Amino acid sequence: MKKAAIGVTPLWDRDRDSYWMLPGYLEGLELAGLLPITLPLTEDAQDISQLVSLCDGFLFTGRQDVPTRLYSEKPWQACGEICEKRGTFEQRLFA
């Protein structure tokens, strides 16, 4: 039987300029009988469209704050680390 493919948004390490993943996200999906796929943080509309076609669902992991510009607000003091590329990717993927 074919497993449902679940696209998982990666975490981002600013200091290393790299993507990474907590194993619990992927292991939990596997234990549920699903096929997890770690996604690239692309801004290309065609690539995002292909990812949507490829995956049966998505897991948006936590970590960085959402860029405030995505909801028409200015950054404020309580904002933590922001990954602009991830914010843009997740917004386009979710739309």
Beta carbons within 10 angstroms of residue 15's beta carbon: 5
Residue 80, classed as helix, strand or coil, is: coil
Beta carbons within 10 angstroms of residue 68's beta carbon: 14
Report the number of distinct structural domains present in the chain. 1
What pLDDT, on a 0 to 100 scale, did the predictor assign at position 6? 98
- pLDDT tens readout for residues 73-88: 666 676 666 666 777 7
What pLDDT, on a 0 to 100 scale, did the predictor assign at position 69? 58
- Please list, in sequence order, all residues whose beta carbon lies within 8 angstroms of the beta carbon of residue 83, skipping any fewer than 6 positions away: 12, 14, 41, 64, 67
Instruction: State mean pLDDT over 33-56.
Output: 95
What pLDDT, on a 0 to 100 scale, did the predictor assign at position 64? 65
Q: Residue 52 is part of a domain; what is its CATH number? A: 3.40.50.880
- Residue 67, domain extent: 5-94
**66 or 15, higher pLDDT:** 15
